[in-house]
Amino acid sequence: MLSLGTVHPKCWLIASRRILQSIVMSFAAGLTLSASAASGQGQNIFKKVEPAVFKVKTSVSEAAAKASYGTGFAVSQDGLVVTNFHVVSDAVVKPHLNQIYLVDDQQSWPAKILAVDVTQDLAVIKVDQKLSHWLRFAERAPQKGESIFSIGEPEDLNMAIVTGVYNGELKHGPYANIHMSAPVNSGMSGGPTVNSRGEIVGVVVSKLAFSDSVSFSVPARFAQALIESAKLSPKPNADAVMEDVRQQLVKLQSQLTDRIVESRPASKFGRWMVPGWPTELKCWSDRSEDQEDGLFETLRQRCHLPHSSMIGRLQLGTYSIEYNAITSRKLNRARFLRLMENELQSSRFRVENYYGGLTAQVCSAAHVVNQSKLAFLVTTCSAAHVKTPELRDTTVLARSLSEPPHGLSLRIEIKGFTPESIIQITRLILDGIREVSNETSSEASNDSN
């Protein structure tokens, strides 16, 4: 007889196999039930929401091929539709070449813009057509971990629904986004993100490039506010819309500039102190050295605002800063100074004139001495936006004129700012740099944010 504390090896093996099979079968059954339940919920939501969702395209005429397209959804019976501003911005930039059309299966209707929110990338458009289905807004935002659903027309295929998870709201200065775990794709921009009751909680806007299911929606409250604006003071024509866009972009860059120049502690970057940056910037740093002879090493840090506004194909309302701290190990003075000079010559100016949206760039160079008596050679190239000429895309390259063994170079990329703001930001950065003597550390203060 076997005691309770003793099990024959063969009996133990048989029992273990049976237990394992039972666990696997139970787990598989649970997965099947879970997948079945999720599938059923998705089907119900799609049937409820899809009739109020449309393809939105811009083109020369109703029958012409699209210049751009996305998704939109009805929010009233009388033809009000919400979409992204970037979906319809071609019709704002070039209204004589692009009209807006709402497409439903084989039908399409011309639409006009009533209101836009450039910062949050939203537009309210209207068709002169009674709509049989429209969506309602949720009374509250989802909880973290709650299932949400996005509907749109990915890659110009057909209407599709994707299931995702609500991960809270992100703030990048004036920009706000819902962070979703959901596999949205191009073409779904402007589609609704809804809760399990089919109520609007957001408007699909973008996904993170080269990521796996990291995507974003605009919180529903911004769409609700824009709808009210469209009802109270609709824009009468394309010129009025463009003027509103211009004013919003000027206000946006002013908000961003105020945020940049706020007083905050300086940051350590190797043996240099540099201005502190707003917490919404994402920063990365790395160290490299001369691979051939180990003659010098470079500490690099790049920070950027992970958001922007769009008008046509151009980005506005965003910026980045890159520092390069160079330390000579074996270079003589002449070779070190040549290396620093090459830092500017090898750098490519990135004022790029996509689709003719910018004027020809104008460049200038100057010697600048900052408040800490550090001398810099500063080269600036700038181009104006054709539709909003008071806004510029600007690249600033600067290098210290310091003696070896230490030097600093920097690149500032600013998109969609006024000349006054660009000067203010550049002065702040240059005046905030100082060399810290008797300092041996060569690390950036923050590897990433």
Q: What is the number of domains present in the chain? A: 2
Residue 19 lies in a domain: no
Q: Is-contact 74 133, C-beta < 8 A?
A: yes
CA distances from 31 to 20, 42, 149, 312 (A): 16, 16, 20, 45
One digit per residue, the tens of pLDDT, for the chain of length 449 reads 333 333 343 333 334 455 445 444 444 444 444 445 556 788 999 999 999 999 999 999 888 888 889 999 999 999 999 999 999 999 998 898 899 999 998 789 999 999 999 999 999 999 999 999 999 999 999 999 999 999 999 998 899 999 999 999 999 999 999 999 999 999 999 999 999 999 999 999 998 877 788 999 999 999 999 999 999 999 989 999 999 999 999 999 999 999 999 989 999 999 999 999 999 999 999 988 765 677 888 899 999 999 999 888 889 999 999 999 988 888 788 888 787 777 666 555 555 555 568 999 899 999 999 999 999 999 999 999 999 999 999 999 999 998 889 899 999 999 999 999 999 999 999 999 999 864 444 455 544 44
What's the domain range around 78?
Answer: 30-235
Whole-number pLDDT of residue 312 = 80
Q: Which of 174, 282, 242 is nearest to 386 (CA)?
A: 242
Residue 188 sits in the same domain as residue 321? no
- Beta pairing partners, 399: 377, 409
d(Cα 150, Cα 164) in Å, to the nearest integer? 8
d(Cα 103, Cα 115) in Å, to the nearest integer? 20
d(Cα 200, Cα 128) in Å, to the nearest integer? 23
Residue 268 sits in the same domain as residue 173? no
- Provide the whole-model pTM: 0.85
Residue 208 sits in the same domain as residue 264? no
Residue 372 sits in the same domain as residue 399? yes
300-306 — which CB contacts under 8 Å span 24+ positions? Answer: 300/324, 300/325, 301/269, 301/444, 303/277, 303/449, 304/413, 305/172, 305/173, 305/256, 305/280, 305/281, 306/172, 306/280, 306/281, 306/282
CA distances from 33 to 23, 28, 36, 152, 282 (A): 15, 9, 5, 27, 41
Q: Is-contact 410 321, C-beta < 8 A?
A: yes
d(Cα 327, Cα 442) in Å, to the nearest integer? 9
Q: Is-contact 322 410, C-beta < 8 A?
A: yes
Residue 264 sits in the same domain as residue 226? no
Residue 197 sits in the same domain as residue 328? no
302: left (phi over 0), alpha (psi -120 to 50) or beta: beta
d(Cα 351, Cα 137) in Å, to the nearest integer? 41
* Last residue in a domain, options 185, 210, 235: 235
Q: What is the DSSP letter of 219?
A: E
Report the relative pairing of strands 214-219 and 267-269 from DSSP bridges: unpaired
Q: What is the DSSP letter of 358?
A: B
d(Cα 386, Cα 395) in Å, to the nearest integer? 18
Residue 216 lies in a domain: yes
* Last residue in a domain, options 215, 235, 255: 235
Whole-number pLDDT of residue 348 = 56
Residue 271 sits in the same domain as residue 371? yes
Residue 201 sits in the same domain as residue 269? no
Residue 39 sits in the same domain as residue 158? yes
Q: Is-contact 45 196, C-beta < 8 A?
A: yes
